Structure 1
């Protein structure tokens, strides 16, 4: 029997410049959909779980297109609320070499940002659910989203559902002070905390020492200490931190660490992959979904972490937000090390 997993957040219309063209060059945009929690829902559906995404979308054709896009990949839309006037939009310019990618948001007053408490029956949503996942992007949408998220977390916790959070700080959406005021109180509901090189500092005020990710350098001990501090401070069952060594917009080193109550009582560092990037948007979400899958199905948490890192490595090679890979493809990468040879 497949496990029921739930995510809650915003799915947006993604308009990206073709290839590596700049915004000022673009004559048209490539159209798709994406958003942190939606990306996780799609991956978990691909892995065979009963995956539900909760949000609010307008009744018009663009809102329906977003729903249809989720349905393509098996995500269940039973709890998507319909209403409001607009879907959030984000514009993406894909960088290359030393030129960074750029994102411009147009998401103010989107349907989910104006959603109100009471529009979702969370007790019904979490019936027979094994897991609930959210990211720091959702409370950054504003007061309404914060209240609904708090209600969702309270309900999930009361019903024995495991709760995970990817801290996902977005500087274009709120300040560090605003983020910490909201995120710190929400941590009491979280069992599994996921962060990247700056999230713990921006969202929760815990900084890794001697680290300069933009110079492609990581001090592992600094991140080990952050993981320990996070676990001690908030009592998480598990803490995982992704480690991105950014040599350029086109090439990154990618690995992660995990600290938990079971198999990794000291921080465990995964295998490291050198990635030639096609599209890094959604990379963190693909890691989160891989970790959720691994923690629910693998024999130990080290195997879960290796699955998450390998799954996310593959996502960096796929255009669009969604990680369109199967469990078998991830397992094959773990076994092979990633030669990239043609399969005939």
Structure 2
């Protein structure tokens, strides 16, 4: 299996129990997560050597976050210790026509205040085959855009594949700033992952004939988006997740992989959601795993979507599934019958 380096932020996640609203809660469940960390956990579950790089504070909350990654087999030796705090985010799970809500308390986190000299990328990438990051990390501001750029340049110099999930977050930066920063980083990216809104928000590339609010999806529109992204940045693969939101509880879930001027669409799943946060990251982890194993494009996109489909049934951010479970669903075993 491969060694994959994931660079980003881990936060303390706090959510009311069950489907309680924030204003009803008198206690919160605690877990740890972040876009790139979620991918690292998925890859460790599939048997890869997943290494997570970040900056954590020198206190018990930071150590608890490290312990949680180690619990699932993620290598944490390249996490830098220092800075004031771990970021926090609060999640209120939606149901039926009531959407989920996320509130961030991440300003001034250790990774947001990281410096370029904190990371020795040549050393970090020793023995690695892949680098993964998301658009969330440069959006943290400070020196993070420059840190991401240095990581990408060092990765390409050492022959690593680079993947990026655009993951636009309007609460962190503007469309204009995102487009400016991400365009520089995309020059080094081989595999671009996006959802139905990211390409439009970051690069102004829209999928015609699609309305995310009604769940209407145009396959031709997304092929056009993928082709434009590939031509603009010289990408090897473009993956776009296709979510048809029937309600906060029930979604249609599929994806497309665009490679060598051909689009590959997965089967579509009707998903009854337990927890959708981390769903896109579980897709990214499944796709990276598939490509590292040399799967053909159709098989790769089927595995990635099946992995993410299963994640929607799991509480909190991490996709705690085995490769065999994903393969079973991808091959059509979708009944959910008890396994004895």
Aligned-residue offset at 1:143: 2.8
- Describe how 1:179-198 pairs up with structure 2 within 5 A: 179-198=178-197
1:324 to 306, 315, 320: 320
**Structure 1 match to 2:273:** 277
SS at match of 1:336: coil
1:253 matched to 2:216: no
- Describe how 1:184-263 pairs up with structure 2 within 5 A: 184-261=183-260
After superposing on structure 2, the runs of 4+ consecutive aligned residues of structure 1 that deviate more than 3 Å are: none
State the distance in 2 between where 1:141 and 1:196 align: 20
Aligned-residue offset at 1:134: 0.3
1:336 matched to 2:335: no
State the distance in 1 between where 2:186 and 2:97 align: 36
Aligned-residue offset at 1:299: 3.3
1:311 matched to 2:307: yes
**Cα deviation per residue 1:211-245 (whole Å; 9 max; x = unaligned)?**
11110110111111101111111110010100000
- Describe how 1:10-29 pairs up with structure 2 within 5 A: 10-29=9-28
State the distance in 2 between where 1:320 and 1:102 align: 14
State the distance in 2 between where 1:299 and 1:151 align: 30
2:152/2:162 contact within 8 Å kept: yes
- Describe how 1:91-130 pairs up with structure 2 within 5 A: 91-130=90-129
SS at match of 2:221: helix
2:131/2:155 contact within 8 Å kept: yes
SS at match of 1:148: helix
2:264/2:297 contact within 8 Å kept: no
Aligned-residue offset at 1:336: 3.0
**Structure 2 match to 1:165:** 164
Unpaired segments of 5 or more residues in structure 1? none
State the distance in 2 between where 1:216 and 1:337 align: 25
State the distance in 1 between where 2:120 and 2:144 align: 15
State the distance in 1 between where 2:213 and 2:44 align: 34
**Cα deviation per residue 1:268-302 (whole Å; 9 max; x = unaligned)?**
11111000000000000000000000001143121
Aligned-residue offset at 1:178: 1.3
Aligned-residue offset at 1:175: 1.1
2:19/2:93 contact within 8 Å kept: yes
SS at match of 2:267: coil
**Cα deviation per residue 1:155-193 (whole Å; 9 max; x = unaligned)?**
001111000000000111111111111111111010000
**Structure 2 match to 1:66:** 65
- What's the TM-score, normalizing by structure 2? 0.99
1:41 matched to 2:40: yes
State the distance in 2 between where 1:205 and 1:295 align: 28
State the distance in 2 between where 1:328 and 1:310 align: 11
Aligned-residue offset at 1:337: 3.7
State the distance in 1 between where 2:143 and 2:108 align: 11
State the distance in 1 between where 2:143 and 2:25 align: 35
State the distance in 2 between where 1:200 and 1:272 align: 21
SS at match of 2:20: coil
